[in-house]
Amino acid sequence: MPTKPDEFNSSPKRVPMPDWGLVVFEARHAPGFFGEMKDAYAKFHLLIAGRALWESGGRDFTVAADTLFHIAAQVPHRQRDLPGEPVTLYAIHYRPELLRPELTRELSASGMLPIDLQGAGNDQARQIRALVQEMLFEQEAQRIGWEALLIARLTDLAVLTLRWTRGGDRAIDRSDESTARVASYAARLKTEFYTAVSLDDAARSVGLGRRRFTELFRAITGESWRRHVHRLRMDYAAKLLVSTERSVTAIAFECGFEELSHFHHSFKATYDTTPLAYRIQFRPKPHS
């Protein structure tokens, strides 16, 4: 259901849920907006303007632009815009069964969950906005497979939300833009350590010289770039050796090593044993 340019809401906007279980729409609040809700569906809200007080489960949240909210199904909550600052937001209403059960359980346990995207970092904020923008575009265009794509992007939102709130990343002073860029890079590196890049490549990717990048990276992670990448690769290799049946050659590839001999040398230097010996030593013994 499209939103008219001059449509403002003094109470929560209700958009019919399609049979397949997901809808994305804009909501523009009139001055004095107030809502008291308990919905059978779950929802993400991305605020893009205004400020409001949201309440749920005895907790109060003052929210503003660049806040992403998740509200689980059947969670009572109130929304009240602050005087003179009516909210504009994008809402994603969905049936919880569209997500994998473990994601739904985690999100439901949080009740009402806010994320300050400015605090999360520029890259994360752009990533969330891009997901919502893509969902809006696909819903409007309705090209082949658009429903499946919206469910996939909903899953992306759920995963990112849970990772940022459960990740335990080191707190970063983001008042310095260079520090923020390196912090975002360090966060991405946790899932991109296998890529073949050099220290110079990493520095260039955040628009810094080698020396400044090295200083900031060590301040943020407590390690040099090379040591940090090496540790991430070795930690992942050890995990795969114990928890999977993958060959040592496959594990070396998955961890970013182009030469098997280099992987063997690095692993032995780190763990003082060979990959196969490590697997034998630490793999859980089958129950007899």
210-252 pLDDT, tens digit each:
999 999 999 888 999 999 999 999 999 999 999 998 899 989 9
Q: How far apart are CA 155 and CA 8, in angstroms?
A: 30
Please indicate, yes or no, if residue 27 is contained in any of the structural domains: yes
Please indicate, yes or no, if residue 205 is contained in any of the structural domains: yes
Nearest residue to 45 via CA among 114, 111, 96: 114
Residue with tokens 């780190």, as numbered in its chain: 270
Q: How far apart are CA 154 and CA 217, in angstroms?
A: 32
Q: What is the pLDDT of residue 1?
A: 40
CA distances from 94 to 155, 174, 230 (A): 11, 33, 41
Please indicate, yes or no, if residue 40 is contained in any of the structural domains: yes
Considering the domain architecture, whether residues 29 and 161 belong to the same structural domain is answered as yes
Write the CATH number for 231.
Answer: 1.10.10.60
Torsion on CA atoms 30, 32, 38, 42, rounded to nearest 10: 40
Q: How far apart are CA 77 and CA 39, in angstroms?
A: 9
Considering the domain architecture, whether residues 94 and 211 belong to the same structural domain is answered as no
Residue with tokens 């504009």, as numbered in its chain: 88
Please indicate, yes or no, if residue 127 is contained in any of the structural domains: yes
Considering the domain architecture, whether residues 54 and 109 belong to the same structural domain is answered as yes
Q: What is the pLDDT of residue 5?
A: 44
**Hey, what are 97's tokens?**
């069964």
Considering the domain architecture, whether residues 104 and 53 belong to the same structural domain is answered as yes
Kindly report the length of the chain: 288
Considering the domain architecture, whether residues 118 and 55 belong to the same structural domain is answered as yes
Considering the domain architecture, whether residues 198 and 92 belong to the same structural domain is answered as no
Considering the domain architecture, whether residues 194 and 269 belong to the same structural domain is answered as no
Determine the Cα angle at 41 with ends 40 and 45, to 5°. Answer: 130
Please indicate, yes or no, if residue 150 is contained in any of the structural domains: yes
Q: What is the pLDDT of residue 264?
A: 96
Number of domains the chain contains: 3
Considering the domain architecture, whether residues 264 and 158 belong to the same structural domain is answered as no
Please indicate, yes or no, if residue 240 is contained in any of the structural domains: yes
Q: What is the pLDDT of residue 129?
A: 85
Q: How far apart are CA 199 and CA 114, in angstroms?
A: 35
Over the range 165-188, which residues count as b (16 or more CB within 10 Å of their CB) and which as e? Answer: beeeeeebebeeeeebbbbbbbbe
Q: What is the pLDDT of residue 171?
A: 40
Q: What is the pLDDT of residue 121?
A: 54
Q: Which residue ranges in the chain fall short of pLDDT 50?
A: 1-6, 168-175
Considering the domain architecture, whether residues 197 and 271 belong to the same structural domain is answered as no
Considering the domain architecture, whether residues 137 and 40 belong to the same structural domain is answered as yes
Q: What is the pLDDT of residue 168?
A: 46
CA 232 to chain centre: 19
Contact 66, 121 (CB under 8 A): no
pTM: predicted TM-score of the whole model, two decimal places: 0.61
Considering the domain architecture, whether residues 199 and 158 belong to the same structural domain is answered as no
Q: What is the pLDDT of residue 174?
A: 41
Please indicate, yes or no, if residue 288 is contained in any of the structural domains: no
Q: What is the pLDDT of residue 197?
A: 86
Considering the domain architecture, whether residues 116 and 232 belong to the same structural domain is answered as no
In sequence order, the β-bridge partners of residue 77 are 37
Residue 111 region, left (φ>0) first, then alpha (ψ -120 to 50), else beta?
left
pLDDT digits (tens, 9 = 90+) for 99-115: 999 999 999 998 888 88
CA 10 to chain centre: 32
For residue 214, what are the domain limits? 177-222
Q: What is the pLDDT of residue 234?
A: 95
Q: What is the pLDDT of residue 248?
A: 92
Please indicate, yes or no, if residue 72 is contained in any of the structural domains: yes
**Hey, what are 40's tokens?**
């059978």
Contact 225, 202 (CB under 8 A): yes
